[in-house]
């Protein structure tokens, strides 16, 4: 699992994972408290549901990132950035190999 998370976002390499809870969405957390959520979706639009999910207490941390396989709407980019989320768009593990 740790290697898969490293593959998902190259900038996270070398930061050990200490927690990957289940059930629910896959959520990676580093020893320093950084959060990474891989989202295998084509498109993310800004909605009330996205806003609520992004503000959940279990997703707080000093560094929060979303690794999205598709794209994010301009409004979602703006709103997520304002809430300190880093976005990694159109990421494909096969493109890294």
Mind listing the pLDDT tens digit for each residue in 49-78?
A: 999 988 888 888 788 999 999 999 999 999
pLDDT of residue 14: 64
- β pairing state of 85-88 and 64-68: parallel
Q: Domain boundaries in the chain?
A: 2-96
Confidence class for position 27, pLDDT limits 50, 70, 90: confident
- Tell me the three state secondary structure of residue 70: coil
Under 8 Å between Cβ of 84 and 2: no
Rounded-to-integer distance, Cα 17 and Cα 19, Å: 6
pLDDT of residue 16: 67
Q: What number does CATH give the domain 2-96?
A: 3.40.1350.10
């Amino acid at each position: 699992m740790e290697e898969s998370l490293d593959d998902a976002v190259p900038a996270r390499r070398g930061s050990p994972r200490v927690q990957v809870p289940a059930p629910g969405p896959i959520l990676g957390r580093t020893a320093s408290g950084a959060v990474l959520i891989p989202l295998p979706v084509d498109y993310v639009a800004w909605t009330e549901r996205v806003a609520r999910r992004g503000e959940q207490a279990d997703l707080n941390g000093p560094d929060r990132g979303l690794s999205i396989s598709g794209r994010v709407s301009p409004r979602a980019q703006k709103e997520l950035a304002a809430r300190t989320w880093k976005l990694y768009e159109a990421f494909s593990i096969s493109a890294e190999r």
